[in-house]
């Protein structure tokens, strides 16, 4: 692979009984070809959500194993069966999902439930575009179009036709999200960050009705996309379905765009960047919104989009605060987690500025304002805090 996610030796605390897993898999795999020996196991080091391992068999077959992190119950936030079943059902209609190989709910095999899927060869973009894949500005432009068209393709899947209609809770997704993320922030607030009460009140007072009920990914970013080895402008895989559910597609777009730091954003926002959306040829956020809405047939204008822009920034602030809460209360000593407080403060200012700009005549590229830069010195889906880390994506 050409990206930065090279697997490493398995951490001691994340090790499992490889032989036990290999024996179980030979008996239960949908295709047991090439699984008659014991694989070499390596671990993808990124992520604070589910653990992801590369299984390399002597005959050349490569599989991916996903399991919950230690110290959690598999059922609930880290529901391997749910994640497996969504992908298994979706793949016939959306072939960018990896083929599922097996799901194990017997925790005696490796100490937790887990599932195994085929590895999708390709490149996953992280903070920078790898130099060896040579994407010039024109190629990056094509990549943006293909990535957004992939989201459109997903949102056009009929959940009932693939047996996933039961994921949804019905109308009111937008309202549930506003209420749910507001409750999460209040529960995670520490005394050194703002209260976001004005932002939460604004969101509650401006929330629109659901525009549609579709299958949404809920963590759609470049670091969850696999790009073709032959043509790195083409998306061949979509990873990390942990948060997938039935909901409003504009909320899915807004949540993904919250991570989209463009080249002229202020330094604090660029510093938190986890994908190369500032590279030459990358679309601006407004261009993404316009292309997506035109493809989906949604009528959109800047004032209507403002709600989704504010929601995306607020949701990301909650995610960052949930992580910082663990550091503040001594639940982790990782110094990187301590830096999330500055992200929360920046996003507090960003939300306030977005709301104050109400009435502007163009789509917001919020975060560009120098004032924001200066001030910056669920119920639906699963595992909100794990998604919140922004590190949930790994290779498959």
Q: What are the pLDDT digits (tens) for 347-391?
A: 999 999 999 987 665 555 544 443 444 333 344 554 444 343 333
Residue 103 DSSP class: E
Q: Which residue is associated with the tokens 């261009």? A: 287
Taking residues 277-282, report their average pLDDT: 96
* Mean pLDDT of all residues in 155-170: 95
Going by the DSSP 8-state scheme, the letter that residue 123 receives in this structure is B
Confidence (pLDDT) at 5: 64
Q: How far is CA 259 from CA 66, 88, 311, 319, 329, in A?
A: 24, 28, 12, 12, 26
pLDDT value of residue 3 = 40
Locate 266 and state its tokens: 């202020």
The single residue listed with the structure tokens 């910082």 is 324
Which pLDDT value is given to residue 337? 86
Mean pLDDT of all residues in 179-202: 98
Distance CA 120, CA 103 (A): 18
Alpha-carbon distance of 39 to 151, in angstroms, equals 34
Burial class (CB in 10 A: 0-12, 13-18, 19+), 377: exposed
3-state helix/strand/coil string of 178-210 = HHHHHHHHHHHCCCCCCCCHHHHHHHHHHCCCC
46 CB-near residues (< 8 Å, 6+ apart): 5, 126, 391, 393, 394
Taking each helix axis from N to C end, the angle separating 249-257 and 285-296, rounded to the nearest 10 degrees, works out to 160
Three-state SS at 104: strand
Please give the biggest Cα pair distance in the chain. 65
> How crowded is residue 251: how many other Cβ atoms within 10 Å of its Cβ?
23
Q: What stretches of the chain show up as alpha helix (H) in DSSP?
A: 18-28, 80-90, 137-155, 173-188, 197-206, 249-257, 267-271, 285-296, 302-328, 335-338, 340-356, 370-375, 384-388
Cα–Cα distances in Å, from 186 out to 127, 175, 181, 189, 328?
A: 31, 17, 9, 5, 15
Q: What's the CA gap between 288 and 291, in Å, rounded?
A: 5
Average pLDDT over every residue of 241-266: 95
Query: Which position has the token pair 């130099």?
Result: 131
Location of each CATH 3.90.1200.10 domain in the chain: 131-388
User: 96-116: per-residue pLDDT in tens?
Assistant: 999 999 999 999 999 999 999
Residue 351's pLDDT is: 97
- Mean pLDDT, residues 67-75: 61
- Per mean pLDDT, which range of 68-77, 259-268, 334-343 is the poorest? 68-77
Domain with CATH 3.30.200.20 in the chain: 12-118
131-388: CATH architecture: Alpha-Beta Complex (3.90)
Q: Does the predicted model carry a pTM greater than 0.85?
A: yes
12-118: which CATH topology?
A: Phosphorylase Kinase; domain 1 (3.30.200)
Contact 117, 98 (CB under 8 A): yes
Mean pLDDT, the chain, rounded, equals: 88
Q: In whole angstroms, give the CA distance from residue 350 to residue 355.
A: 9
Res. 77 pLDDT band, cuts 50 70 90: low
Taking residue 200's Cβ as centre, other Cβ atoms within 10 Å add up to 20
Give pLDDT tens digits for 323-348: 999 999 998 788 888 999 999 999 99
Task: Give the DSSP per-residue string, 285-298.
Answer: HHHHHHHHHHHHT-
Supply the DSSP string of 27-74, one letter for each residue.
HH-S--TT-SSPPEEEE----SSSEEEEEE-TTS-EEEEEEPPTTS-T
């Amino acid at each position: 692979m050409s990206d930065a996610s090279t697997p490493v030796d398995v951490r001691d605390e994340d090790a499992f009984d490889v032989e036990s897993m290999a024996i179980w898999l030979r008996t239960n795999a949908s295709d047991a070809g090439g699984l008659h020996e014991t694989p070499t196991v390596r671990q993808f080091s990124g992520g604070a959500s589910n653990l992801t391992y590369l299984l390399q068999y002597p005959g050349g077959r490569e599989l991916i194993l996903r399991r919950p992190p230690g110290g959690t119950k598999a059922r609930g936030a880290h529901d391997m069966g749910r994640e497996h079943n969504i992908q298994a059902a979706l793949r016939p209609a959306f072939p960018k999902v990896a083929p599922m190989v097996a799901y194990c709910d017997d925790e005696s095999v490796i100490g937790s439930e887990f599932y195994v899927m085929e590895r999708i060869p390709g490149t996953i973009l992280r903070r920078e575009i790898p130099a060896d894949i040579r994407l010039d500005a024109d190629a990056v432009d094509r990549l943006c179009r293909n990535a957004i068209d992939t989201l459109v393709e997903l949102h056009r899947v009929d959940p009932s036709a693939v047996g996933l209609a039961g994921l949804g809770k019905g109308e009111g997704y937008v309202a549930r999200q506003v209420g749910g993320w507001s409750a999460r922030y209040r529960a995670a607030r520490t005394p050194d960050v703002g209260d976001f009460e004005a932002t939460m009140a604004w969101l509650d007072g401006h929330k629109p009705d659901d525009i549609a009920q579709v299958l949404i990914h809920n963590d759609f970013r470049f670091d969850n996309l696999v790009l073709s080895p032959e043509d790195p402008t083409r998306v061949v895989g979509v990873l990390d379905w942990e948060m997938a559910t039935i909901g409003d597609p504009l909320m899915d777009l807004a949540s993904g765009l919250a991570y989209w730091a463009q080249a002229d954003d202020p330094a604090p926002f660029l510093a938190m960047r986890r994908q190369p959306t500032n590279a030459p040829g990358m679309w601006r956020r407004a261009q993404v919104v316009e292309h997506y809405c035109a493809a989906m047939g949604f009528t959109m204008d800047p004032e209507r989009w403002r709600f989704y822009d504010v929601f995306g920034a607020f949701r990301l602030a909650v995610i960052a605060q949930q992580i910082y809460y663990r550091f503040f209360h001594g639940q982790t000593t990782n110094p990187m987690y301590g830096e999330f407080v500055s992200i929360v403060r920046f996003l507090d200012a960003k939300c306030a500025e977005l709301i104050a700009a109400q009435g502007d005549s163009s789509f917001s590229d919020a975060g560009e304002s120098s004032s924001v830069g200066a001030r910056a010195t669920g119920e639906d889906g699963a595992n909100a805090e794990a998604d919140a880390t922004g590190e949930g994506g790994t290779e498959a």
